[in-house]
Amino acid sequence: MTDSSKSAATAPASSMWGGRFAGGPAAIMQRINASIDFDKRLYAQDIRGSKAHCRMLVKQGILTQADGDSILAGLDQVLAEIEAGAFPFSMALEDIHMNVESRLAELIGEAAGRLHTARSRNDQVATDFRLWVRDAIDGMEKALQDLQRALVARAEEHAATVMPGFTHLQAAQPVTMGHHLMAYVEMIGRDRGRLSDARARLNESPLGSAALAGTSFPVDRHFTATELGFDRPMNNSLDGVSDRDFALEFMSAAAICAVHLSRLAEELVIWTSAQFRFVKLSDAFTTGSSIMPQKRNPDAAELIRAKTGRVIGDLNALLIVMKGLPLAYSKDMQDDKEPVFEVADTMELAIAAMTGMIADMNVNTDVLAGAAGAGFTTATDIADWCVRELKMPFRRAHHVAGSLVKLAEDKGCDLQDLSLAEMQAIEPGITEQARAVLSVESSVASRTSFGGTAPDNVRAQVAAAKTRWL
């Protein structure tokens, strides 16, 4: 045994654990048990929760007004010290709760010890964590609104800009760039809805659940819930200290959102390639190559793609932590915060980067227009014309359009380059009027069904989005 481990093993009993333990923890136990390195991020929520608890104790006559005033003033000083970067966090004190309480005792003396009346670190951390996740949701929701704003602005700009629409990454039918971007506005809108739903469900206060069974003190849990902006106290004290659904739901909503960001990032990677050249990103969101001077790499988009995997992994990590825990609190749950913090940080960065790229991208309208008709993307339009004008069953019309595509392929030309005589050789009923539907502009203009790609539809979607989301 080393000198350091001997001293750790024979250290005085911990002041926070009380007289049950004759000796202190081993050095390795201190390291694995401490959470202050990461849970110090909860300092503002911890102090806010402590102040609400203190006011409730005074209101209920459990604390004197003098002690309450002293505690509140001391907590304000602790908060100021932390925000000024002058607070010495200690691993020996394990967590943010004991670090704050220890400093409070240094400032105001014995009254600090009365703050923990009718409270446990179990309901304290559950309250702090809910407050933190609630703040994170509010921040992410605002960032997603900014992303929607950027998407809507570019969609309005390109409401009539034609481009190829894809299925299987094969040219399918012409669409507009505005329509394409508005699809992501809808996705992000659902992401915001999931975050809003998660926020509503988490907005119940665990404070007053104590360790697991509630408390014998005459606390007013409705008062502290209102003080902290919660809708109500949680109904069951066991659930109050052991639930982490709110963290899982936040991470789940974030993971779905990250997948949406990754899909858009993948499109930017494809669109900026030399083979597509649909859009160009400036130096602000690209990097060069150490060996190939011509390269402009869409690294911001690629990193968003990669960070999505981290968000999904963090969600899985917490699901696995929680899956085998009996009620109520177990120390496993100390590992709930780091994955949540990482998800919030990762999403903040990814959303900001995507918002920047959308605003930054230069759309190559000429390239898009040329690509919009490649691959016989208006073949469905001639089939629809046959159904509409010749009263042909769609399956037969599909066969006619397919035969026209094959003829154009054999001749090495586009559908609109076929002569009327060549088209009538396949279907005699085709007239010159049918040829008009083969332009990409005509194709997108005809898609006027609700939710379709017609430019006027896109402009209507933009107007609706401004009312719904912005």
287 bridge partner residues: 297
**Reported confidence tier of residue 9, pLDDT bands at 50, 70, 90:** very low
Question: Tell me: the pLDDT tens digits for 44-59?
Answer: 999 999 999 999 999 9
Of the listed ranges 33-42, 238-247, 450-459, the one predicted with least confidence:
33-42
Instruction: Indicate whether 283 pLDDT > 60.
Output: yes
Instruction: Indicate whether 291 pLDDT > 90.
Output: no
The whole-number pLDDT of residue 30 equals: 75
Neighbours of 377 (CB within 10 A): 25
Task: Assess contact for 239 and 246: CB atoms under 8 A.
Answer: no
Which residue, among 316, 376, 377, 370, has the nearest Cα to 342 in the 3D structure? 316
Please give the residue that has the higher pLDDT: either 269 or 288: 269
d(CA 443, CA 262): 30
**Which active-site residues does the annotation give?**
168, 289
- Per-residue pLDDT, averaged over 418-432, amounts to 93
Burial 430-462 (b: 16+ CB within 10 A, else e): beeebbebbbbeebbbbbeeeeebbbebbeebb
**Reported confidence tier of residue 294, pLDDT bands at 50, 70, 90:** confident
**Reported confidence tier of residue 20, pLDDT bands at 50, 70, 90:** low
The whole-number pLDDT of residue 24 equals: 65
The whole-number pLDDT of residue 3 equals: 43
Assessment of whether the complete model's pTM goes beyond 0.85: yes
Q: Within the chain, how many helices (H) and strands (E) appear?
A: 20, 6
**Reported confidence tier of residue 117, pLDDT bands at 50, 70, 90:** very high
- Per-residue pLDDT, averaged over 116-126, amounts to 96
- Per-residue pLDDT, averaged over 433-442, amounts to 90
The whole-number pLDDT of residue 292 equals: 78
